[in-house]
Amino acid sequence: MGGNFLAPTLEYSLLSPVLIVLGGAILGVLIEAFAPRASRSSSQLFITLTTLATALTALIRNRNGESVTVAMNSMVFDGAGVLLQGSILVIAIISVFLLADQDNFTALAAALPGSNEERISVQQQLKVTEVYPLVLFAVAGMMIFTVASDLITLFVALEMFSLPLYLLAGLSRHRRLMSQEAALKYFLLGAFSSAFFLFGVSFLYGYSASITFSGIHDAVIGGSGNDVFLLLGIAFLSVGLLFKVGAVPFHTWSPDVYQGAPTPITAFMAAATKVAAFGAMLRIFYSVLAEDYLQWRPVLTLVALVTMVFGSLVAIAQRDVKRMLAYSSIAHAGFLLSGVIALNKSGLDASIFYLFAYGVATVGAFAVVTLVRDSSGEVTDLNRWSGLGKRSPLVATVFAGFLLAFAGIPLTSGFIGKFSIFSAAYESGATSLLITGVLSSAIAAFFYIRVIVLMFFKDSVEDGTSVVIPSIYTQFTIALSFIVTFALGVFPAPLLEFISSTATFIR
């Protein structure tokens, strides 16, 4: 018995970014359990930012490493993985500053009864400090999800970042029932999609007698398995992944969860989850199922076309800014699917750039949403945003900048991202994606510009709505997101060249 034991082989240097994040998350749990309540918020914020910055530093240090045996052949370390993990860490760092503004989770002091000391005491009790370790656990799961090289690790990583997100969506339960409803819907539909994902795993194992990506790839090339099992495996696995990115017809959770969850959580979830889910999709379809593209590309193309059009059209009818951004994200999921379907190096490079640029702009846009409030909290009814440009020109201008980036207007990162990804689709011969994408972008530009007109050219309504002065944390989030969004629109070449030279998949 003893002679057959194999010691686990782990390359700790390459695993260090993930291990650092997990270590920070565990430390955060210990602080929640044992630290005095008064010191938790500052301690958790310091540990979370230090953890993420240290993990990003370790990732940069290891950026030139490549290995298929990082963790007993269950994870790989390659250029594309570095870029995707780096994007998740940068988005998480920006999001944590927004999360640090605890007014986004608790009732405003002015709305609480009693003396000023009593209000401060109640707010202290309502501070949601458990958000920090939950975010770190989610980030660790997302990082593993992008570099997993077998189906079991992929599923474990999926649940590892999904479960904290279900909890995070319900963290505003003290203020409104919508947050509880969002968490419940997200959990039930997420569990349903996980079941489909596991069905896909079982069929792919039945097809290839292997759970590793390399084993499945070899079986696809050899054509030695049952093709029905392969098709069913791809279909069910895709359902689980398409649910996470919010593609039609697996999008139904997105508007309700985006609207009901605390806005900082919505920002983090909308940006980082897309990077993780599309990162896994790119790895699976580019390095595992590329030789079988004739089977899955037509269906995925149809999903992409419907997702673009549906997201853009339905967003026009929305009167809530968070629901509008939710349907906007659905349309962007369709645009990003074009990069997966392209199945070429240009598609990979464009997808990674798009994911990073869209993620940063999304965090910034939701950060602006947290600033428009009345005595009861955030105001997301677009009708009450009328005249915002007159009441607060700076806030309205910044939000308009993010909307223009989503619309793909030149000199923004959104334009570079859309141009790159549609160019990759055209190179691959997917003309239908190009035409539909351009038309959908034109439709989307209509409702983005409609909001800009509402803010700047409509009369202001005296309904108690005001723009609060943001804390230094929210100011940093908005300023950094805005700078990155326009810097990547004006000077995209350095990042595009770095992605092009780095983004590779290995088996």
DSSP string, 192-211: HHHHHHHHHHHHHHHHHS--
Which pLDDT value is given to residue 109?
42
Contact 88, 355 (CB under 8 A): no
Could you tell me the end-to-end alpha-carbon distance of the chain, in angstroms, rounded to an integer?
32
pLDDT in tens, the chain (507 residues): 445 656 677 778 888 899 999 999 999 999 888 878 777 888 889 999 999 999 999 999 988 877 777 878 888 888 888 999 999 999 999 999 998 886 555 544 444 444 444 444 444 445 678 889 999 999 999 999 999 988 999 999 999 999 999 988 887 655 566 778 888 888 888 888 899 999 999 999 988 888 888 888 888 887 766 788 889 999 999 999 999 888 888 888 888 888 888 888 999 999 999 999 999 999 999 988 888 888 889 999 999 999 999 999 998 888 888 999 999 999 999 999 999 998 888 999 999 999 999 999 999 999 999 888 877 777 788 888 888 888 888 988 999 999 999 998 999 999 999 999 999 988 888 888 889 999 998 998 888 998 898 888 877 766 656 677 778 888 899 999 999 999 999 999 999 999 998 888 887
Contact 399, 407 (CB under 8 A): no
Which pLDDT value is given to residue 224?
67
DSSP string, 20-77: HHHHHHHHHHHHHHHS-HHHHHHHHHHHHHHHHHHHHHHHHHTTT--BS-TBTTSB-B
Quick one: which of 238, 258, 28, 6 has its CA closest to 140? 28
Contact 481, 361 (CB under 8 A): yes
Amino acid (one-letter) located at 115: S
Which pLDDT value is given to residue 110?
42
Quick one: which of 338, 331, 361 has its CA closest to 440? 331
Contact 271, 99 (CB under 8 A): no
CA distances from residue 101 to 95, 371, 383 in whole angstroms, order as listed: 10, 11, 26
CA distances from residue 477 to 21, 108, 180, 468, 470 in whole angstroms, order as listed: 21, 20, 26, 15, 10
Biggest alpha carbon distance in the chain?
81
Please give the sequence-ordered ranges of beta strands (E in DSSP) within 312-465, or none if there are none.
372-374, 377-378
Tokens of 128: 């949601």
Quick one: which of 292, 300, 284 has its CA closest to 430? 300
What is the C-alpha to C-alpha distance for residues 165 and 61, in angstroms, rounded to an integer? 29
Quick one: which of 107, 118, 103, 89 has its CA closest to 470? 103
Contact 230, 207 (CB under 8 A): yes
Strand order in the sheet with 372-374: 377-378, 372-374, 466-467
**CA torsion angle 108 113 115 118 (round to 10):** -70
The three-class DSSP label of residue 459 is coil
Tokens of 222: 């050899």
Tokens of 475: 């100011």
Three-state DSSP string of 235-294: HHHHHHHHHHHCCCCCCCHHHHHHHHCCHHHHHHHHHHHHHHHHHHHHHHHHHCCHHHHH
Contacts with 420 (C-beta within 8 Å, 6 or more apart), sequence order: 346, 349, 350, 353, 354, 496
Which pLDDT value is given to residue 12?
83
What is the C-alpha to C-alpha distance for residues 51 and 57, in angstroms, rounded to an integer? 10
Which pLDDT value is given to residue 127?
65
- Name 466's bridge partners: 373
Q: What is the phi/psi pair of residue 374, to 5°?
A: -125, -165
What single DSSP character describes residue 458? S
Cα 245–Cα 250–Cα 252 angle in degrees, nearest 5: 100
Contact 467, 387 (CB under 8 A): no
- Residue 192: count other Cβ atoms within 10 Å of its Cβ: 15
Contact 504, 78 (CB under 8 A): yes
Tokens of 39: 């010191």
Which pLDDT value is given to residue 141?
93
- Residue 37: count other Cβ atoms within 10 Å of its Cβ: 11
Q: Cis peptide leading into 470, omega within 30 of 0? A: no
